[in-house]
Amino acid sequence: MRRLTRRQRLAAIVLAALAACFITLDLGGGSLAGAHSGVRGTLGALYRGTDGVLGPLRRFVQGVPHAGTNEAKIHSLEHENAALRAQLAQRSADRATASELSALRLGAQHLGQKVVPARVIAFGPAQGFDWTVTLDVGTGSGVKIGMTVTDGADVVGRVVNADSSTSRVLLAVDPGSGVGARDARSGELGVATGTGASGFTFVPLDPNSSVRVGDVVMTGPSSGSSFVPGLEIGTVRSVRTSTDGTVRASIAPGASPGSLDLVGVILVGGTPVASRPVIGTDSSLAGGR
């Protein structure tokens, strides 16, 4: 095995000290906010270009495991929303995109909010602990930090950074995230904590609550949650009661983090200033600017 030369050893020590300084500065406040913003903007442009070239290939590979499910979903939507489907089919040759837009439209109607459609152009840039995605819309389209992102019916995450043309979304399944939640069947309130790709863990506030497998869990009242209320978090797949009586339910996520493509940013408290059309509460598509 080789050994480091004196200069290499010195360089390693200096750079390690520099890295420690960066960590301290970034934890301490916004000293590096400008640097973060600049690099995110540059990388955002790079990701947008890459997505233009490699996006179709990625979406094809991502769609392979869900091919059967998507087909069934499309058929079901065709029967239920014949009028909407006809309108969408005229606008887009891409069936998958059409169904996603339809879901966003229904979501906007259901929530009574305006939604900016956005495409996922990149996933967490470095390693698996970064549960973020980059969207191709930013402050220029009315997106602000803290806004909720949905795929139409399910919660996807919330905006944590936004520049003029891109924004970064912290996924709801992020293991550090907790969201106020409600069991749609029983109305029980609780907290859903992200567990990465496997979904969420739901802990009801009332230990005697009757959470059952198959229950749908939604985002809870807005005062106790950073997300817009009424979005589906997922479905309970197993329930476990510990010896101290605490109930924990494992939840399969409604929006699979690995297959995100077209999503919508809910413009709560924001004004649509978009150059991009906004999906309104009356299912209309309107230009913002």
Partner 1 sequence: MTRIRIAAAIAAVLTCLALQSGVLAPLAISAAISLPAVLVAAVALSDGPGAGIALGFAAGLIADLGSTHPAGVLALTWMGIGMVCGLAADRKSVRADAVIAATLCAVAASLATMLLTLLNADGASLTLAASQFLPTILGDGVLALVLVPLVRRAVRADVLRAPRGPVVLLGVDS
Distance between CA 27 and CA 163 in Å, rounded? 21
In angstroms, the CA 263 to CA 128 distance is 21
Instruction: Tell the residue number behind the tokens 């999503």, with chain if given.
Output: 263
Q: By CB under 8 A, tell whether 61 contacts partner 1.
A: yes
Exposed / middle / buried, residue 179 (Cβ in 10 Å: 0-12, 13-18, 19+): buried
Inter-residue contact 219 to 234 (CB < 8 Å): no
* Contacts to partner 1 from residues 19-38, by CB under 8 A: 19-23, 25-27, 32, 35-36, 38
Question: Which position among 29, 112, 258, 269 is part of the footprint of partner 1 (CB under 8 A)?
Answer: 258
Work out the number of other CB atoms within 10 angstroms of the CB of residue 95: 15
Among 39, 82, 86, 285, the residue binding partner 1 under the rule CB under 8 A is 39
Give the per-residue contact string, 196-235, with partner 1 (x = CB under 8 A; - = no): xx--------------------------------------
Structure tokens at 132: 């973020």
Closest approach of partner 1 to the CB of residue 116, in Å:
21
For partner 1, the binding residue among 63, 125, 140, 224 (CB under 8 A) is 125
* Euclidean distance between CA atoms 16 and 11, whole angstroms: 8
Strand partners, 120: 135
CB of 178 to partner 1, least distance (A): 11
Which residues in this chain contact partner 1 in the complex, by CB under 8 A? Answer: 1-5, 7-8, 11-12, 15-16, 18-23, 25-27, 32, 35-36, 38-40, 42-43, 46-47, 49-51, 54-55, 57-58, 61-62, 120-132, 134, 160-161, 168, 170, 174-177, 195-197, 257-260
